[in-house]
């Protein structure tokens, strides 16, 4: 059952968008008893913070993911990001797979192409030492929709990218408000924030980075090689 936004309590009065920090997010919709909000600035949709899953609930759900690095279908899925990113990387670049999960297939694919890839995941590769370095590229595949504090996460990701380097994100773009309540991506209990293509273009503009969308649900953002030059 869904109810339109007009029936939602103004529980986030005075709050800011968790993605872009803009003020005054708007009530969006109630779906399956969960309250969703939207930002008029970056166009993100997000779950009310009080309804996010706990860390234990997240971990239990992730254990059911089947991300086999040797699965050809999974590799084809990841190739939507891997192929355009590889086309932009210099030989023997150094990168980080942020949120690699229990089966870091993308890292394996990039290593096979001759690049060095470090791993970080708060649940499955929690050693924080890779976060103290910087990289030619950082990948974030099917991870950003899980961020409880996306503004802080993106600030961290930006800091990990060297000048001239790339931040590569893959997440299912939200496009149709009328179908949001029945959207399979929303129904995953660990998905708490939903981005549009415009969301990433808005973020890139605010950072002064270049933004490309080479394929559906994939965005590549390049940090300027010279400060202040996008």
CATH number of the domain at 214, please: 3.40.50.150
* Neighbour-count burial of 116, counting CB atoms closer than 10 A to its CB (0-12 exposed, 13-18 middle, 19+ buried): middle
- Residue 13: what pLDDT? 60
Residue 159 lies in a domain: yes
Residue 211 lies in a domain: yes
User: Cα separations (Å) of 130 from 35, 117, 158, 169, 175?
Assistant: 36, 10, 14, 18, 34
Q: Could you tell me the pTM of the whole model?
A: 0.92
Reduce the DSSP state of residue 59 to 3 states and report it: helix
Range of the domain at 175: 55-222
CA atoms within 13 A on the CB side of 34: 22
Taking residue 158's Cβ as centre, other Cβ atoms within 10 Å add up to 15
Q: Outline where DSSP puts E strands in 159-216.
A: 161-170, 193-194, 210-215
Residue 117 lies in a domain: yes
- Residue 192: what pLDDT? 98
Number of domains in the chain: 1
Residue 167 lies in a domain: yes
Which residue, 145, 179, 181, 173, is CA-closest to 19?
145
Residue 31 lies in a domain: no
DSSP 89: S
Residue 20 lies in a domain: no
* Neighbour-count burial of 36, counting CB atoms closer than 10 A to its CB (0-12 exposed, 13-18 middle, 19+ buried): buried
Residue 230 lies in a domain: no
Task: Please give the chain's pLDDT, 230 residues, in tens.
Answer: 344 444 455 566 668 999 999 999 999 999 999 999 999 999 999 999 999 999 999 999 998 776 778 789 999 999 999 999 999 999 999 999 999 999 999 999 999 999 999 999 999 999 999 999 999 999 999 999 999 999 999 999 999 999 999 999 999 999 999 999 999 999 999 999 999 999 999 999 999 999 999 999 999 999 999 866 66
Residue 98 lies in a domain: yes
């Amino acid at each position: 059952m869904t109810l339109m936004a007009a029936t939602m309590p103004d529980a986030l009065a005075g709050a800011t968008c968790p993605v872009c920090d803009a003020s005054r997010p708007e009530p969006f919709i109630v779906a399956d008893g969960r309250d969703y909000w939207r930002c008029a600035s970056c166009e993100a949709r997000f779950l009310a913070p009080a309804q996010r899953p706990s860390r234990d609930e997240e971990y239990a759900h992730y254990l059911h993911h089947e991300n086999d690095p040797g699965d050809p279908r999974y590799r084809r899925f990841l190739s939507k990001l891997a192929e355009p990113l590889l086309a932009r990387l210099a030989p023997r670049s150094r990168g980080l797979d942020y949120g690699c999960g229990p089966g870091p297939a993308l890292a394996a694919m990039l290593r096979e192409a001759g690049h060095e890839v470090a791993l970080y995941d708060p649940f499955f590769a929690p050693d924080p030492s890779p976060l103290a370095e910087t990289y030619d590229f950082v990948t974030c595949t099917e991870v950003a929709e899980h961020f409880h504090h996306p503004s802080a996460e993106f600030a961290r990701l930006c800091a990990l990218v060297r000048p001239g380097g790339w931040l590569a994100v893959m997440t299912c773009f939200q496009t149709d408000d009328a179908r949001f309540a029945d959207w399979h991506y929303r129904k995953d209990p660990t998905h708490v924030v939903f981005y549009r293509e415009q969301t990433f273009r808005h973020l890139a503009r605010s950072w002064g980075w270049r933004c490309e969308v080479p394929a559906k649900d994939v965005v590549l953002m390049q940090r300027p090689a010279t400060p202040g030059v996008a």
